[in-house]
Structure 1
Amino acid sequence: MPSPVDLVVPVKGLSAAKSRLRGAADGGAGDPGAHGQLTLALLLDTLGAARRSGVRRLLVVSSDPDVAAAVGRIAAVTTPAVIDSMGDGGDNALLQVLPEGPAPGLNAALAHGAAVLRGEDPSSTVGALQADLPALRPDELRAALAEAVARFADGAVAAFCADTPGDGTTLLLAAPGTALAPAFGPGSASRHAAAGAVPVGAALPGLRRDVDTPADLRHAVALGVGPHTAAALPVVARGA
């Protein structure tokens, strides 16, 4: 039987996150409140899809109290009426928040979360999922995880999914007993490949569509975003 999958989802403080998206939530005005609402919405839709993908645990690494409060609210709610295309109903994954560790930066946050997960269950598959995947579908993440498990059975020790342009990474997984080695940032896909991670999820558009710019957001909207992101967008951002 495949090992359970535990994922780390890192989130910056909402005031600092997604600077290139500033103005996308309010027609270019750049209001900090609207920007923070959109950034949080991207996270909540990512978590909503991931919770229904067969993942055992989602560990959000963030020291932002607004993030912790919002994640706590959705962690207390299940939605059995939501059925994805694989027939999985309800929110099943355990959802928790962990404050950032002493070292700054995305990769440090991921390593911090992964160490906590590994310490609690050395036999699990541990991974990193980006927090800006509003078009993610549960069956897409499930398919990527199944593909990774098959590659692990063939001897691979890590797997990654490249973003839509192909140079970044949206998902990184370490096989049971293997340390997660995050190398996120520009050009991360080639760094993860060079470190021995095998590619998965090439045909999964929602998993690959991270959102860093207004153009990325428009592409995600075209794929179909989750309810939190849809509610955070003005008419102009929806292309109407």
Structure 2
Amino acid sequence: MPNTDRTANWSLVVPLKPLSLAKSRLSPTASDAVRPGLALAFAQDTVAAALACSAVRDVAVVTNDALAAAELAALGARIVPDTAAAGLNPALAHGARSVRELRPGAAVAALNADLPALRPAELRRVLDRAAEFPRAFLTDAAGIGTTLLTARAETELSPAFGGLSRARHSASGAVEILLGGVASVRQDVDTGEDLLAAVALGLGPYTARRYAAVAGERGSARSREGRHGTP
């Protein structure tokens, strides 16, 4: 459920594309049968951790995926239909407007939906630092993208996610948040290597269950290769 703590000032906007289209770069690691469930699990762990963060008032998920909407609403997120259906940044801008229609002047933050190792206490540290600036962002573990973009009350979010977004957000005037010990907020998952890095940090419960299925699938594949391979 939404946090009722009076110090919980941030409304988070989490974008999620249709699960059937999500995480295509994980194809070498997870089959088409497994990947949509893995993408949903990433989002579930992200939203659950965000809602457990003492700095977060509420979470709005922008999505047109019916299954994801139902599962994330059950966790306490508010679902915002992606009426523009024009890509990531229009979805985030739409989500931020939706938040401020309900709560004018709200402090808003865009958060990636693929942070399966996210820790509420680490997110709190990042948001507390972000509150010092009109707009701020946290770069991803690779050092080129963005996992979190914040805008204080009365400030436009102006998202520029995707690809080399670290440079774009910096050029737009947002301040880069430089903090140690917040790896779980930086570790998004696009590739198999990213997933292993998240495993090393410690997966949330939803992803941990799904990851077991991925590991089992890969183990079965190796077993079949062993049986049919040439000695």
> Could you state the TM-score of these two structures normalised by the residue count of structure 1?
0.83
Runs of 5+ in structure 1 lacking a partner? 76-94
- The answer to which of 210-219 and 102-111 deviates more is 102-111
For 1:122-137, what aligned pairs fall within 5 Å after superposition?
122-137=104-119
Select which of 11, 14, 17 maps to 1:9. Answer: 14
Runs of 4+ off more than 6 Å:
none
CA 1:31–1:172 in structure 2 vs 1: closer, same or farther (change >3 Å)? Answer: same
Query: Is it true that 1:45 corresponds to 2:50 in the alignment?
Result: no
* Structure 1 position 167 matched with structure 2 position 182: no
Structure 1 residues 13 and 99: alpha-carbon distance in aligned structure 2, compared to 1, 3 A threshold = same
What is the number of residues matched between the two proteins? 211
- AA in 2 matched with 1:181: S
Structure 1 residue matching 2:20: 3-state secondary structure: coil
For the residue of structure 2 that corresponds to 1:234, the secondary structure is helix
Which of the residues 187, 198, 215 maps onto 2:193?
215
**SS of alignment partner, residue 109 of structure 1:** helix
Q: So what's the TM-score if we normalise by structure 2?
A: 0.86
Shift in Å at residue 21 of structure 1?
1.0
The residue type equivalent to 1:144 in the other structure is V
RMSD: 2.0
- Structure 2, unpaired ranges of 5+: 1-5, 220-231
Deviates more, 1:220-229 or 1:3-12: 3-12
Query: Which position in structure 1 is the counterpart of 2:222?
Result: none
Higher helix share: 2
Shift of 1:19: 0.3
| Deviation for aligned residue 1:109 | 0.3
Secondary structure of the residue that 1:159 maps to in structure 2? strand
1: CA distance, partners of 2:129 / 2:27: 35
Distance 2:97 2:20 in 1: 27
- Matching of residues 22-37 of structure 1 within 5 Å: 22-25=27-30, 30-32=31-33, 34-37=34-37
Answer yes or no: is the 8 Å Cα contact 1:3–1:125 preserved in 2: no
Query: Cα 1:73–1:2, aligned 2, differ >3 Å: closer, same or farther?
Result: closer
Q: Distance in 2 between matches of 1:181 and 1:220?
A: 28
Query: Of residues 10, 22, 25 in structure 2, which corresponds to 1:20?
Result: 25
Partner residue in 2 for 1:183: 160
Instruction: Give me the whole-angstrom Cα distance separating, in 2, the residues matched to 1:31 and 1:162.
Output: 29
Mark the structure with the bigger radius of gyration. 2
- Compare 118-127 and 171-180 and name the one that shifted more: 118-127
Match of 1:98 in 2: 80
Looking at structure 1, the residues matched to 98 and 148 of structure 2 have their Cα atoms a distance apart, in angstroms, of 18
Partner of 1:225: 203
Assess if the C-alpha contact under 8 Å between 2:47 and 2:75 holds in 1.
no
The alpha carbon displacement at 1:102 in A equals 2.2
Amino acid at match of 2:107: T
Aligned residue type for 1:20:
R
Aligned-partner SS, 1:15: helix
Distance in 2 between residues matched to 1:237 and 1:7, nearest whole Å? 32
**Counterpart-to-counterpart distance in 2, 1:10 and 1:35:** 17
